[in-house]
Amino acid sequence: QQQVKQSPQSLIVQKGGISIINCAYENTAFDYFPWYQQFPGKGPALLIAIRPDVSEKKEGRFTISFNKSAKQFSLHIMDSQPGDSATYFCAASFPGNQFYFGTGTSLTVIP
């Protein structure tokens, strides 16, 4: 059973556009929701993260929107650039280092 469901599987966006990736979870005991960015041949790297007491967090061009009642959270990449082309993973964790990841979204930003 997938604890965190991520969509879409792949996404193609024009340069300058907005990329949106969505995730949904079931377990309300999750208390930490990070997004990771992964380039080919590299390990994932933390992009931005949010805790459930906050509805939105913004860092530069990256924003997490969090809807606790709907048990959904999303990543918005504003002004998408070709350098943002990568695979993005959402995740959720319980207190104590137990993590569940989404299946990933391959983002391609076309110049």
Partner 1 sequence: EAQVTQNPRYLITVTGKKLTVTCSQNMNHEYMSWYRQDPGLGLRQIYYSMNVEVTDKGDVPEGYKVSRKEKRNFPLILESPSPNQTSLYFCASSLRTSGGVETQYFGPGTRLLVL
> Residue numbers of the site for partner 1 (CB under 8 A)?
3, 6, 31-32, 34, 41-46, 49, 51, 89, 91, 93, 95-104
Of 66 and 101, the one with the shorter C-beta distance to partner 1 is 101
> C-alpha 35: how far from its chain's center?
4
d(CA 106, CA 18): 15
**Min separation Cβ 107 and partner 1, Å:** 15
d(CA 78, CA 18) in angstroms, rounded, equals: 5
Please, what is the minimum distance in Å from the beta carbon of residue 23 to partner 1?
Answer: 11
